[in-house]
Amino acid sequence: MHCTDAACIKVCPTEALYHTEFGSVAMHAHKCIGCKACIPACPFGVPKLNAATNKVSKCDFCYTRLQANQLPACVLSCPTGALTIGDRDAMLKKAYKRAKELGGDANVYGDKFVDGTHVVYVLPEKPEVYDNLPVDPKIPLTIIVWKDILKPAGLIAAGCVVAGAFLHYITHGPKTPEEETTSEGGKQS
């Protein structure tokens, strides 16, 4: 779905997943370690494990084709012209117009959740009707807490510890070892 606020990017420990200049989410396959953290993180279930390589793969919106000013393969091969590509705002405007033309329960899917997606569907019926289509997809709360709260707090805490240790060293200097004495009062050799 190429989410603007992509959970798969947030959880990837190797930064294999990233946003392209086209707004799509792509993957550096050589960076993927096959940890599979992105699979349950995605509210749409898009990333899939390739059993042959033990690495994750997903649609990258034909990134290399976009770089060469070519259409993604899905858009190029769509026999009805239902798939289009363009500026997100222009595509949303077109999608809202189409949903209005369809009337009834027609709606635009992908415009609002996860800060919007870069793949937008015009559904003739409500999302509840479709199998495997999340009605209200969200980034899991555990990821938000972990990546947006705990990780930054941990980095701040680590910085405070280093700053405190440095401040202690400056104010008290290095500790010099004291000679130990025996219980009889003599020096220990």
Check which CATH number belongs to the domain holding 86 and give it.
Answer: 3.30.70.20
Residue 151 Cα to chain centre, angstroms: 15
* C-alpha pair distances (Å), 179 with each of 82, 140, 143, 176, 189: 84, 57, 52, 10, 10
Whether residue 64 lies inside any domain: the answer is yes
pLDDT digits (tens, 9 = 90+) for 24-36: 999 999 999 999 9
Instruction: Read off the tokens for 180.
Output: 């130990």
What residues make up the domain containing 83? 7-129
pLDDT digits (tens, 9 = 90+) for 36-68: 999 999 999 999 999 999 999 999 999 999 999
Say if residue 11's pLDDT is above 60: yes
Whether residue 80 lies inside any domain: the answer is yes
pLDDT at 142: 81
Say if residue 189's pLDDT is above 70: no
Stretch 81-88: mean pLDDT, rounded? 90
pLDDT at 182: 62
Whether residue 187 lies inside any domain: the answer is no
Whether residue 188 lies inside any domain: the answer is no
* C-alpha pair distances (Å), 36 with each of 56, 57, 76: 7, 10, 31
Phi, psi of 139 (to 5 degrees): -70, 130
Whether residue 1 lies inside any domain: the answer is no
pLDDT digits (tens, 9 = 90+) for 96-147: 999 999 999 999 999 988 888 889 999 999 999 998 888 888 887 887 777 7
Three-state SS across 19-85?
Answer: ECCCCCEEECHHHCCCCCCHHHHCCCCCCEEECCCCEEECCCCCHHHHHCCCCCHHHHHCCCCCCCC
Say if residue 158's pLDDT is above 70: yes
Same domain, 52 and 11: yes
Overall domain count for the chain: 2
Distance CA 61, CA 74 (A): 9
Distance CA 19, CA 5 (A): 10
pLDDT at 115: 84
